[in-house]
Amino acid sequence: MRGFINTRRLQDGVELLQQPGDLAAWLHGRGLLAPGAAVSGDDLDIAVAMRESLRDLVGANAGRAVPAASSGRLDAIAAACGLRPRFEPGGGMSLAPEVDGVAGALGRLLGIVVVSVAGERWVRLKTCRNTNCRWAFYDTTRNRSAVWCDMAVCGSREKSRRYYNRHRTGSGTAGA
């Protein structure tokens, strides 16, 4: 899930899903879409909207509110692909879509999300507190307190920004 969310890097504007072929390659490379399956511009628009809604959903693990539009969008995509429980012959269970193609691939991604929410790892998937970054990362701290994707980059920038603002406004203790 983290890989899908991070197909767009907000901080430097890099978008890995620019063309329908990019989406096809990404989904195929993860075994979610059959080789040669057609991917349209509309499919790409839906996938990008789903990605940003998932970014918002993961942001809830970092203390942000999930916009109603994002929740509604994820609900609509899940409904469109007919996401439902599937009971495997070996006794396992999964959430799988009733449709094939890109809609089915996106449904499989949503199925992974739903199953993950029930596990311990989901709460560790967060987005960076830096609003210009919002990179998805796993919080590996023991107490799940990480808020930056990278302390040396985003955390350091934020600390420098706060320091500068404190001293610029005269509320710092420098020279006292």
Note the pLDDT of residue 118: 83
Segment 17-46, tens digit of pLDDT: 999 999 999 999 999 999 889 999 999 999
Note the pLDDT of residue 176: 46
- In the chain, the number of structural domains is 1
Mean pLDDT of 6-21: 94
Q: Is residue 165 situated within a structural domain?
A: no
* 122, part of any domain: yes
pTM: 0.83
Tell me the DSSP string of 82-111. T-EEEE-TTS-EEEE-SS-HHHHHHHHHHH
Which residue range is the domain that position 67 belongs to? 2-149
154 occurs within a structural domain: no
Tokens matching residue 3:
């890989």
pLDDT in tens, 63-117: 999 999 999 999 999 999 999 999 989 898 888 999 999 999 999 999 999 989 8
| 8 A C-beta contact, residue 56 and residue 67 | yes
Is residue 77 in some structural domain? Answer: yes
Residue 163, in any domain of the structure: no
Q: What is the CATH number of the domain that holds 129?
A: 1.10.3300.10
Q: What is the pLDDT of residue 173?
A: 55
Q: Distance between CA 120 and CA 118 in Å, rounded? A: 7
- Residue 16 domain flag: yes
Determine the Cα angle at 154 with ends 50 and 119, to 5°.
45
32 in any annotated domain: yes
Cα distance between residue 50 and residue 76, in whole Å: 10
* Any domain includes 124: yes
What is the pLDDT averaged over residues 139-164? 74
